[in-house]
Structure 1
Amino acid sequence: MIEIELGLEDVARTRFAISPLWEVVASVRVLKGADEHGLHRTWAEQVRPRLATADLDLRPLFDLVPVPTRSPWGGRIPGFICPPPTTPLPSLDVELATVRATPPALLHTTAEVPPARMAALRADPAAELARLAAVMEAYWELALAPYWSRILALLEGDIRYRAGRLVEGGAQHLFADLDPQVTWAGGTLHLEHRSARGARRLDGRGLLLVPSAFVWPRVFSVLDEPWQPSLRYPPRAVGTLWHTRAATGSDALAGVMGRSRATLLTELTVPASTTDLARRTGLTPGGVSQHLTALRTAGLVSAHRAGREVLYARTRAGETVVEAAGAELSTAQA
């Protein structure tokens, strides 16, 4: 059990952030076997073949992301590959720039990573960190970018909920249902931990709370210098992240954008290629391409190259439009 002592200054400086870079690292854990309960099976089954056919050496990244073992150090993540964000929602490019600029003195870890990988990093930090950042960026494009709108909506929804809890009842109310592994009592945050014990003082640095789609059922803590003290925790409703929702509201949307485009937009519950969408909707591939171009121009759809194919996904604006149409349809039926 870790006891995190929060003074008044720490409570005042407690904040939230979302980290695309951390989602890269946490999702690699899932692909390496850390998803014992199969929460992310749907995502993994789509992503693994894509990564397997890509001309990409993932070892610089995968070597640095250990999976849980019986060792007390098993499952720890080297801090230098995913430093806590300094702004509420940094872009992946900004976070990768931080990785590239990591001081050589920070290139150490107690995590179970191949010694040869750490030796290479220390021997030529600039080159190896640049290589690591490039692999992270390529992995992001294949594994996370097509799904980011959905993931981001989940994470932002959790932050809105937590902010409301803080306003309603202060820090005690905020932490009351953060996670079963976290409890609050008398100005101290108690965090269950596999191996670490004892008290930790934040000394006025505050606490950074980072909801993460890929960490359940664990909570990851960052409490050592020089990083910002942080908790990476599962957001509310993470179990619904990959549920395929029925394509409702197409009639309402059809009156605005036409039936073909409405059908395509509602079909994009998960990223799909032009060929997939043509097969599912009965439209010609050429027609699908034209309609997707129009939807993309309107900001409702994004395109992501994944190996040899291009995957289309709803943007946050597209998700909002579909949800609004579905809500309006439910109201009318009621």
Structure 2
Amino acid sequence: MEPARTGGARTVGGQTRGGLIQYELAGMDVADVRFAVSPLTELTLSLRTFRDPGRYPVHLPWLQRTEGARAALDLPVLRALTNDVLWTPDYLTPRPYSPLTRIADELAAIESVPVPRLADDLRAVHPGDLPAALRGDLGTVRARIATALREYWNTCFEPWWPRMRAVLQADVVHRGQVMSAYGMASMFADLSERVRLVDGVVRVRLGSDARFRRATTGEGLTLVPTLFSRGATTPISPDEPPVIMYGARGVGTLWETEPERSPKALAGLVGATRAGLLTVLATPASSTELAGRLGVTTSAVNQHLRALRDAGLLASARHGRSVLYLRSELGDALVTGVASSRSGVRHTGAPAG
């Protein structure tokens, strides 16, 4: 029997049986669609990399850097929170309500999850016998899970979270720009090949055989980017809040530390670091993310960003407590113009004589 509660995380990796979830937007109102980020969801979904690291090759550098720290964690519990098809307990992937959700608030909530809910979610992931680490008094199990996840966060996530959060927030900004420029249908189509907006109804195709249609009136539809999911998924129970989790853009750059190559002519004009910044800022990013990618300090990056912005080569926008930067039209023209001139093509499109 299909579990009553089967959150988005658990639908990934299931059998392909042609499920279809449909969310009716209230008059296609933009206000009915919101973006949010959940640190706990990222923490939980990252446990998939423990069981099947080859499925997530982009995260191998992070797994290597945190190998020593993971060895000291409560690995029996952490490994028990996924199964062979990479499902995870629903209560550990809650619906977030803000792009700035705090991990402390989410961890506090799971410490007090009702025991019947805990039992249902664990049994849904492990319908046969529970792993040994999840057996016994459920109150004790609940506390052990919360402690294990908190220690996992402190040692393996917190040092890297600014970089992770920057990628997630940049994705949210990008989706907003797509929606503003091309409309909601284009934004939904850009999330995943599984997602489409047709006549005011968001359609999500899943690997399970779940099918239902419900309105989002009064609740809205929450879109949650994640670093540890390659497709898009959603709860397969109509009783769950309307949520779509989807793979964030830019994950491939998450663990890069080497400066990206930029045209030598551009580096000669503005310097190697600023040329690198202009090259990578074809998509939005924060100074913290850029510092990690280019291998320089955040304070140094901020100085270069201010200079490029003052020269009109970058635009910036505040997103919560972060400032995201993006190449301006002038910056685009400079980067593409230099590249064209180096390849022997004039701006007019005529061959160089």
Q: Secondary structure at the match of 2:173?
A: helix
1:183 and 2:207 equivalent? no
1:213 and 2:223 equivalent? no
Q: Secondary structure at the match of 1:39?
A: helix
Instruction: Tell me, in whole angstroms, the C-alpha distance in 2 between the residues paired with 1:168 and 1:251.
Output: 31
1:8 and 2:10 equivalent? no
8 Å CA contact 2:39, 2:101 repeated in 1 = yes
Query: Cα deviations across residues 128-163 of structure 1 (Å, max 9, x unaligned)?
Result: 222211111111122211211111111111101111
CA drift at 1:203: 4.4
8 Å CA contact 1:147, 1:270 repeated in 2 = no
The residue aligned with 1:49 is 68
1:128 and 2:141 equivalent? yes
Q: AA paired with 1:58?
A: L
The residue aligned with 2:101 is 90
Instruction: Tell me, in whole angstroms, the C-alpha distance in 2 between the residues paired with 1:57 and 1:105.
Output: 24
Instruction: Tell me, in whole angstroms, the C-alpha distance in 2 between the residues paired with 1:181 and 1:39.
Output: 22
Q: Secondary structure at the match of 2:144?
A: helix
Q: Secondary structure at the match of 1:150?
A: helix
8 Å CA contact 2:257, 2:292 repeated in 1 = no
8 Å CA contact 2:35, 2:223 repeated in 1 = yes
The residue aligned with 1:321 is 302
Aligned pairs for 1:216-231 (under 5 A) are: 216=230, 218-224=231-237, 227-231=240-244
1:65 and 2:65 equivalent? no
CA drift at 1:323: 6.4
Query: Cα deviations across residues 294-331 of structure 1 (Å, max 9, x unaligned)?
Result: xxxxxx9xxxxxxxxxxxxx6xx558527628968998
Instruction: Tell me, in whole angstroms, the C-alpha distance in 2 between the residues paired with 1:97 and 1:9.
Output: 36
Instruction: Tell me, in whole angstroms, the C-alpha distance in 2 between the residues paired with 1:131 and 1:270.
Output: 39
Instruction: Tell me, in whole angstroms, the C-alpha distance in 1 between the residues paired with 2:300 and 2:212.
Output: 43
CA drift at 1:165: 2.2
Q: Secondary structure at the match of 2:209?
A: coil
8 Å CA contact 2:233, 2:246 repeated in 1 = yes
The residue aligned with 1:100 is 111
CA drift at 1:175: 0.5
Distance change >3 Å, CA 113–CA 269, structure 1 → 2? farther
| TM-score (normalised: structure 1) | 0.68
Q: Secondary structure at the match of 1:190?
A: strand
Q: AA paired with 2:20?
A: I
Q: Can you give the 5+ residue segments of structure 1 that lack an aligned partner in the other structure?
A: 69-74, 253-264, 272-299, 301-313
Instruction: Tell me, in whole angstroms, the C-alpha distance in 2 between the residues paired with 1:251 and 1:215.
Output: 32
Instruction: Tell me, in whole angstroms, the C-alpha distance in 1 between the residues paired with 2:76 and 2:133.
Output: 14
Q: CA RMSD in A?
A: 3.6
Q: Can you give the 5+ residue segments of structure 2 that lack an aligned partner in the other structure?
A: 1-18, 262-270, 275-288, 314-330, 339-353
The residue aligned with 1:157 is 170
Aligned residues: 269
Q: Secondary structure at the match of 1:15?
A: strand
8 Å CA contact 1:22, 1:82 repeated in 2 = yes
Q: 1:148 is matched with which residue: 150, 161, 169?
A: 161
CA drift at 1:50: 2.8
Instruction: Tell me, in whole angstroms, the C-alpha distance in 1 between the residues paired with 2:107 and 2:229.
Output: 20
Distance change >3 Å, CA 268–CA 206, structure 1 → 2? closer
Q: Secondary structure at the match of 2:55?
A: coil
Instruction: Tell me, in whole angstroms, the C-alpha distance in 1 between the residues paired with 2:195 and 2:273.
Output: 45
8 Å CA contact 1:65, 1:113 repeated in 2 = no
Q: AA paired with 1:177?
A: D
Q: Secondary structure at the match of 1:116?
A: coil
8 Å CA contact 1:222, 1:229 repeated in 2 = yes
8 Å CA contact 1:223, 1:229 repeated in 2 = no
Identity, in percent, stands at 25
Deviates more, 1:224-233 or 1:113-122: 113-122
